[in-house]
Amino acid sequence: MDHSPIEDLQRVLVSEKQILKRITELGKEIDAFYHGEEVAVIAIINGAIVFVADLIRQIRLPVKLDCIRVSSYRDSTSPQGRPDIIDRIRLDLKGVHVLLIDDILDTGNTLSEVVKILKTLQPASLRTCVLLDKSTQRTVDFEADFVGFNIPDEFVVGYGLDFAERYRHLPCIGVLRPELQNPPEWS
Ligand code: IMP
Ligand code: MG
Coil/strand/helix, residue 21: helix
Sheet of 39-45, strands arranged across? 84-87, 63-71, 39-45, 97-105, 125-133, 146-150
**pLDDT of res. 2:** 75
Please work out whether the CB of residue 161 comes within 6 Å of at least one atom of ligand 1: yes
Q: What is the pLDDT of residue 6?
A: 96
pLDDT of residue 31: 98
CA atoms in the 13 A half-sphere facing the CB of 183: 10
The parts of the chain modelled with pLDDT lower than 50 are 187
With beta carbons less than 8 A apart as the criterion, state whether 41 and 63 touch.
yes
| From 8, 103, 106, 162, the catalytic residue | 106
pLDDT of residue 89: 87
Amino acid 145: pLDDT: 98
Residue 156 in contact with ligand 1 by CB distance below 6 A:
yes
| Architecture label for domain 17-154 | 3-Layer(aba) Sandwich (3.40)
pTM here is 0.92
Is the Cβ atom of 100 under 6 angstroms away from ligand 1? Answer: no
Ligand 1 pocket test: pick from 73, 78, 141 the residue with the most ligand atoms within 8 Å of its Cβ.
73
Atom of ligand 1 nearest to the CA of 105: 4
Residue nearest to atom 9 of ligand 1 (CA): 104
Domain ranges of the chain: 17-154
What is the number of the ligand 1 atom nearest to the C-alpha of 107?
Answer: 3
- Report pLDDT for 111: 95
Decide: 46 and 24 in contact? Cβ < 8 Å.
no
Residue of 8, 161, 162, 181 to test ligand 1 pocket, by largest number of atoms within 8 Å of CB? 161
Find the 132 Cα to ligand 2 centroid distance in Å.
Answer: 13
Q: Based on the residue annotation, tell me whether 106 is a catalytic residue of this protein.
A: yes
